[in-house]
Each structure stands twice: as C-alpha cells, then as structure tokens.
Structure 1
Amino acid sequence: MTSSERAPWLWLALLPAGVAAVAVYWMTMPSGPDAVPQRAASVAAANRSVTLADTGLGGSVSALPSLAGVDVPAGPETDAHGNLRLTRALRTYFDYFLSARLDAGGAGALDQLVYDDIRRRVPQPAAGQAWQLWQRYVAYLAEIQPQAANKPLADAGEGTLNATQVGQLRALQATRNAARHRLLPEVATIWFGDEQAYDGAMLARLEIAAQPGLDEAERQRRLAALDAALPEPLRATREASARPQAIGDTIAGMQAAGRSAQDIGAALAQVYGPEVAQRYQQQAQAEQAWQQRYDDYAARRAQIESFPGLSEQDRRQQLEALRKQAFSNPSEALQAAAVDKAMAARRQTR
C-alpha cells in the first residue's frame, strides 16, 4: 500500500464536504436536548373537528413520542388584569408543540392539543388571546414556508453569493419581516427582534463580501468595523455560529502540518474546551480503527487486483465479496467503495 492510502482522516477528505461536516457538527453540538422549531402547515379553526381521541393520544402531551422526556416550556401567563402576558417564552412554548406536529396525527389534532393545554394553564380572557396568537403564528409559518424555497444558493465553486443574490436575500428578509408585523404585530419585536437584528448584520457582511472593487484589506476593515458595532448578544451569537467552521479549520490546519491527534485534542481543549476535545478524540479513535481496517482490506484488495488469470467479472465479484466481509456495516462498505474510487482516480492522474 502506498503512503497516500494511509493518510489519516483520508476518507473525510475524499468524501463530499457535507459528509465531513457532520463530524465537526457532532463535536460542536450541545450535549443536552434542544427542541428545534419545525415548519408548520396552515391550520384553520374549522380543522379542529379532528380530536386527540381520534389519534389515541388521550390529550396527554407526554404521549407524543417526539416530546417524551422533554419538559414543556413555560406557557401562557396572565397579567394583573387577566390578559395574556406577551413574552418571548410564548414562542418557545408554541415551537415545542410544532416540533411534534407529525406525531400529533394531523394539523387538527395538534390544534386541539394546544387549545386544551392553553385552557388548562390560564383562564379567559388570556386563554382566548393565546389561542388566537397560536393560530396567527401557524398562519405566519405557513406563509413564509414557500419563500424559503426561493432562497438563492451560494456558487458551488466559490461558495459565495454575488451582489444580485444578496439583494434577493435582502428582499426575502423584508417580506418575512413584513409578514411578522402584519400577522403578529403585538409580538413581532418581542419574538423576532434579536433574530431580525442578527439577520440584518449577517446580510450586511454578505453585502461587503460581494461588493466589487474592494481590495482585501478594505474588505476586512469594513467587516471588522461591522463586528465592532454589533451589540454584545449579537456578537456572541455570530461567534457561536462561526464556531464549527473555526474548529474544522483548526483540525485541518494541524493535520496538514502533521500534528498528532493528541496535539490537536490539546489545542482544541485550550481554545474550545474539554468537551470539544473529548468528542474530537472519540472521532479520531473511531477513524483510526476504521483506517486500520481499511489498510488491511486494501492490502487484500491489491492481491486480488494483481492476481493473474482472473476474468474481469470474477475479479469484480471477489472485490465486492471482500468489501462486504471487511465492512459488515453497509454505510462503511459504501465509504470504502468511495475511497477506492477516489484512489483509483488519483492513480490514473499520476
């Protein structure tokens, strides 16, 4: 086997970037559960003819599989006059239910579930106000869902957006913000104010990056000035969103320099904390074990490829049987086949 076939983390380098990114995301993801809001279907009051009894859930939130073991967030509260308190926590409460919309047995059943839970928590008039807010929130999500499909994608070669595409994103943001203020006027700022400010700052960065005629020094100066003007919470959010890329760059740079997994783990622990370092070490150990199995497999594969007298069909059948024997996990077998193909292509270009 050649030295190039023994390069550590080689399969990650040869597979598509999205596959490699999973490993970095795994190292940076939070260790605890985090309910992620999902896009909802449009719900009308008439659809509430479907009840939880029809779904077999019996009105229990804990009966939904995707919500099992997850605490219900703080829900509707009343003010001193019995009206609904308008808080950011309300959106989290609604998102909690939306994350289980598939388990609920349809839009009408989810609607009923929220309606019943609101009534258990607060009396009128707060209950009716929360219910109306839920309906308008679902209508808002249904309205912006098609817009997301029109989002421009970065150029596959350069990974950047041009000025026209950034302008399209700016228009989409304006349309979404208008929908928020039209359908959810009383909570638009409470629920989306920080998010809207962050999106605006990120669009400003994209506009600077896409602006023609700027030399690199001026571009970096403008980006630094934009970062310095961000409020502290937004700056922290941006740094958190950039963290996976920074970790990936650190790992790639140290690997290119020939540093060991122990050195990389120590550097990650110093900069990003022990949890990231531990996850990297686990990933590195799993990759080392896979690489050892691939090395053994590649040695036997080379013997089959060089064995004289085999027909092309027999050789192909023996190689497939060897791969299945060495990698019983189908995903690992596909991974090995991808590395085989990339190695063959590299040998042909030499």
Structure 2
Amino acid sequence: MTSSERAPRLWRALLPAGAAAAVVYGLTAPSAPAPAPVPQRAVAVSATAPSAPSADPAPAGVAAWPSLSGVAMPAGPEANAAGNLRLTRALRTYFDYFLSARHDAGGIDALDALVHDDIRRHVPQPAAGQAWQLWRRYVACLAEIQPEAARKPLAGADGMLDAQQVQQLRALLTQRDAARQRWLPEVAQAWFGDEQAYDEAMLARLEIAAQPGLDDAQRRQRLAELDAALPEHVRAAREASARPRAISQTIADLQAAGRTTQDIGAALAQAYGAEVAQRYQQQAQAEQSWQQRYDDYAARRAQIEAFAGLSEQDRRQQLDTLRRQAFDNPSEALQAEVVDQAMATRRQAR
C-alpha cells in the first residue's frame, strides 16, 4: 500500500460524539424500502433546542453498546393534547441516538424492532404510529443521501477546494436538502433548518476563498462582510465550531512540520488544556493501531481484487468476510468500508 493510499486521519475524538456518529451514519445508511406515508394530522411543529435527557432508562442492553457508552438517553416522543405526535427537534435527537448504534444493534432490521418498541414505551396511538412512520421515512431519506455523500469533492493538499469543487459541493448539498424536503416535509425546517443555514454560510465562505482575481485584502474584506450579515444563530454556531476547527488545524500544522505525537500533545496541553491533549494522544495511539491493521487488511484485499478467477459476487463476499475478520469491532469495520470507498473514489478521479 503506497503512502498516498493510506487512510485519512480522523480526529473525531476531539469533536462531540453525537455529531461524529450522525456523519458516519449519513455516509453509510443502508437502503430501506419506502415506508407508508404518515397520516396527515394537524400536529404542531417546534424548532426548539433538543430537550434534556430522558428520565426513563434506555432499552435493555442498549446502554452497554460501545457506541453509546457515556451517552445519555434523549427524551422520547411526546404527544399533544389531541394524542398526535409533537414534531420537535428533540425527536430527531432521539432517532439519531439509535442510528448511531446501528452496527452495535446488528443492522437496521434489529434497530427497527428496538425503536418500534421504545416508541410505544413513550406514547400511545395515534402518536406511536406517527412516530414509527416518521422514523421509517428518516431512515429511507438517509439511505437516499448515502450514495451522493460519497461523491463529495476531496480537498487538495492545502485543504482547500477550487471553484469547480465548491460548485460540486453546492450541488450535492442542494440534492441533500431536496431529499430531506421530499421525505420529511413536515419536519425539514425544524430538524435541518439551522444546519442548512450554516452550510449555506460556509459555502459562501468557500466561494469567496476560491474566487480568482481577489488579493488577500479583498478576500478578507468580503469574508468580514459575509460574517457581519450572518443571522445571529448561524454566527453563534460558527463561533461554537471555531475551537474544534482550531484544534484540528493545530494538529495538522504540527504534523506537517514533522512533530512527534509527544510534541503535539504538549503543544495542545499548553494551548487548549490537558483534556484535549489526553484525547489526542489516546486517539493517536488508537489510530496507529487501526492503521497497522488496515494496512494488513488492504494488502489482503488487493490480492482478492487482483484474483481473476472470482465472479463479482464471490469477490464481494470474500471482501466482506475479510473485513469482518480483520475488524471484529463493527464500528471499525464500518470505518474500513468508508475508507475503502474514499480511496476508490480518489483513484477513479486521477
């Protein structure tokens, strides 16, 4: 395996666990049959912030899953005075809690059964049926988004996208937003409105950064004007993301300078505190271990791919078996699959 084919570094441990899980699921959600539509009722939509963790315990066995270790069970579905489902932002948080543990559950079918039963622990009919159908449509929406997400443009060595790549990214996000509106029209704004406004602001910044003919002063001025025009909630979200982005940039700069893991940990401790440094060092050790196993796996995968005597179906079966043998932790097997797809896309783009 050449150095250019090594798996990209993933510093998700420095970011909120729920956000990382949602991203992974968005890229890897399985295909699902289109569920029946939810009966149209007059149900109030709320875009309030996610509610506090539920006082109810998680379903039996769920709290022990590795992907949910230390994650509090969100509040479940709620019914209004008429018995219909309240369509709140917190409902997406509840669904994402389960989605982040899809592989621990043993697949989407097993997860469906858990969600189906847990919904009924929280609300009676008709709210329970409405929540179940909304869950099924959410899963189907994510399954549609998956193939498109794999086509996202790859940044260059400097971490930047050119103007054409920014337009490709804009087109992909437009398709994503259209899928959300088509599958989830009654909750699209409450569930995704803030995220889409933030994405639009970030796309505008990328377009300015990639625009030819601007000198540094002009580019800084346009970025400042853009920031000043941002809605308050988008500006707050951007400021909240500044610290993890700064941490990631610090790590990238020090790695580019050839600094050791110990040196980087010391620099992070000084700039951001001991907890960030400890997370980095733990993640660096885990990544080194995973990379060694991925390199061994990739060498054996290449042998299977190069063997001319296999049918395409047999080849896929052998690759799936190899991945499960090399990575007994389902989340690591998932990571290997995502990296395989990214490497294949990169090779095709050359």
Coarse TM-score class (shorter-chain normalised): 0.5 to 0.7
Whole-angstrom distance in 1 between the partners of 2:282 and 2:108: 41
Q: Tell me, yes or no, if the aligned pair for 1:209 and 1:219 is still in contact at 8 Å.
A: yes
Question: 1:229: Cα distance to partner?
Answer: 2.9
Q: Which position in structure 1 is the counterpart of 2:305?
A: none
Large movers: runs of 4+ above 6 Å: 15-20, 32-35, 252-256, 280-284
Q: Which position in structure 1 is the counterpart of 2:177?
A: 177
Q: Which position in structure 2 is the counterpart of 1:43?
A: 32
Q: Which position in structure 2 is the counterpart of 1:204?
A: 204
Q: 1:247 to 1:186 in 2, by over 3 A?
A: same
Whole-angstrom distance in 2 between the partners of 1:42 and 1:282: 34
Q: Which position in structure 1 is the counterpart of 2:119?
A: 118
Q: Which position in structure 1 is the counterpart of 2:73?
A: 72
Question: 1:183: Cα distance to partner?
Answer: 0.9
Q: Which position in structure 2 is the counterpart of 1:227?
A: 227
TM-score normalised by length of structure 2 = 0.60
Q: 1:229 to 1:273 in 2, by over 3 A?
A: farther
Whole-angstrom distance in 1 between the partners of 2:252 and 2:30: 39
Q: Which position in structure 2 is the counterpart of 1:292?
A: none
Taking only aligned residues, the RMSD between alpha carbons, in angstroms, comes to 3.8
Q: 1:102 aligns to what SS in structure 2?
A: helix
Whole-angstrom distance in 1 between the partners of 2:182 and 2:167: 23
- Is 1:103 matched with 2:99? no
Q: Which position in structure 2 is the counterpart of 1:247?
A: 250
Q: Which position in structure 1 is the counterpart of 2:167?
A: 167
Superposed, which structure 2 residues align to 1:141-152 within 5 Å? Answer: 141-152=142-153
Q: Tell me, yes or no, if the aligned pair for 1:43 and 1:108 is still in contact at 8 Å.
A: no
Question: 1:213: Cα distance to partner?
Answer: 0.9
Aligned residue pairs, count: 253
Q: 1:119 aligns to what SS in structure 2?
A: helix
Question: 1:273: Cα distance to partner?
Answer: 3.6
Question: 1:35: Cα distance to partner?
Answer: 7.1
Question: 1:203: Cα distance to partner?
Answer: 0.6
Q: Which position in structure 2 is the counterpart of 1:340?
A: none
- Give the aligned residue type for 1:42: S
Q: 1:36 aligns to what SS in structure 2?
A: helix
Q: Larger Cα Rg: Structure 1 or Structure 2?
A: 1
User: How many percent of aligned residue pairs carry the same amino acid?
Assistant: 59
Q: 1:77 aligns to what SS in structure 2?
A: coil
Whole-angstrom distance in 2 between the partners of 1:126 and 1:16: 52
Whole-angstrom distance in 2 between the partners of 1:113 and 1:78: 20
Whole-angstrom distance in 2 between the partners of 1:106 and 1:253: 39
Unaligned runs of 5+ in 2: 36-58, 286-350
TM-score normalised by length of structure 1 = 0.60
Deviation per residue, 1:100-138 (Å, 9 max, x gap): 222333332221211111011101111111011101101
Unaligned runs of 5+ in 1: 1-14, 47-58, 287-350
